[in-house]
Amino acid sequence: MIAHLTGRLAFKAPTHLALDVHGVGYEVFIPLSTYYNLPNADESLTLSIHTHVREDAIQLFGFSTRQEKDAFVLLMSVSGIGPKSALGILSALPVADLASAIQSGDIEKLETVPGIGKKSAGRLVLELKDKLTKFHPGMTPAVDQSTSGQDDVFDDALSALTNLGYRSTDAKDALKTVRKSRPQPLSLQELIRETLKHLARV
């Protein structure tokens, strides 16, 4: 089994990349969270790898952090969740937010993930709530999120806006503008809604 790879980033796309390791090109499937952290093409890259073996194929799934890999493996332990669904969940929710939603039983937040309905969200909470602490400590959200929580909201909003097609720099500037104009903390939905209004006026 391949546990990690280090090589030259030959190609990258939001869903997969090609990693040149001593002349051998490995196709690796990735979540958006890893894609955002990739270097430029031809630069060196190290990924944590999960090797998924099927009857008809061997697929590699890569992650920029061990935390993401642990979450991926944990998600696939849930009945009905395969590699593609697990990648989709990690692309939509940062690991800390995913862990928080599972621990708090936030079905509505889990349902915001494309392809995850009420039944699947319920299974995630039911089957994973007691397993989180057995994995990487970083998967357990901190008790006090009074300051980092808003940063997580900002990052989630930025991810959502870039997925909608906005350039990262434009989305980031708009988010900062909206933040400054609203003294009180905004929820993720409120921040995205207000930022979309701002971008529509620009």
CATH number at residue 30: 2.40.50.140
User: Do 135 and 153 have their domain in common?
Assistant: no
Report the alpha-carbon distance of residue 175 to residue 196 in Å, rounded.
Answer: 9
The total number of structural domains in the chain stands at 3
Q: Name the pTM for this structure.
A: 0.65
pLDDT tens sequence across 21-62: 999 999 999 999 899 999 999 999 999 999 999 888 899 999
CATH number of the domain to which 162 belongs? 1.10.8
Question: Are residues 28 and 45 in contact, defined by beta-carbon separation less than 8 angstroms?
Answer: no
pLDDT tens sequence across 74-105: 999 998 899 999 999 999 988 888 888 888 88
Residue 84 structural domain:
67-139
Domain boundary among 63, 80, 112: 63
pLDDT at 181 over 50: yes
**How many Cβ atoms from other residues are within 10 Å of residue 75's Cβ?**
22
User: Do 59 and 72 have their domain in common?
Assistant: no
